[in-house]
Amino acid sequence: MMRIVIHPAVHSDVLQIMEYYESVADPELAAEFYRELRSFFDKAGMNPYSFQIIESNLRRVNLDRFPYHFLYKIADDAVRILVVRHHHRHPSTGRER
């Protein structure tokens, strides 16, 4: 498994999403989102070359249950997660990270 490095701004991305789910549903839905996200972070670390390339070294992982995805790059011995974002909002967010 490759080491997973999370960009500091990703913590803010995830917190905003979880706060949204807590406000429209309940804390359990937010927790389910987080568990699924962490599971896919681990899958990217286990098989970093198996996910869709969207440009050069930038790859995209879609969550199954939630309308979110994350972008990552493979650099040296690590999967560098750059952004977690909604499928249909702000398509350029996080590419500069």
Whose CA is closest to 66, among 18, 33, 24, 40?
33
Cβ distance 69 to 62 under 8 Å? yes
Q: What's domain 3-86's architecture?
A: 2-Layer Sandwich (3.30)
Q: What is the pLDDT along the chain (97 residues), one digit of tens a residue?
A: 999 999 999 999 999 999 999 999 999 999 999 999 999 999 999 999 999 999 889 999 999 999 999 999 999 899 999 999 998 866 655 566 6
The pLDDT of residue 88: 80
**What ranges do the domains of the chain cover?**
3-86
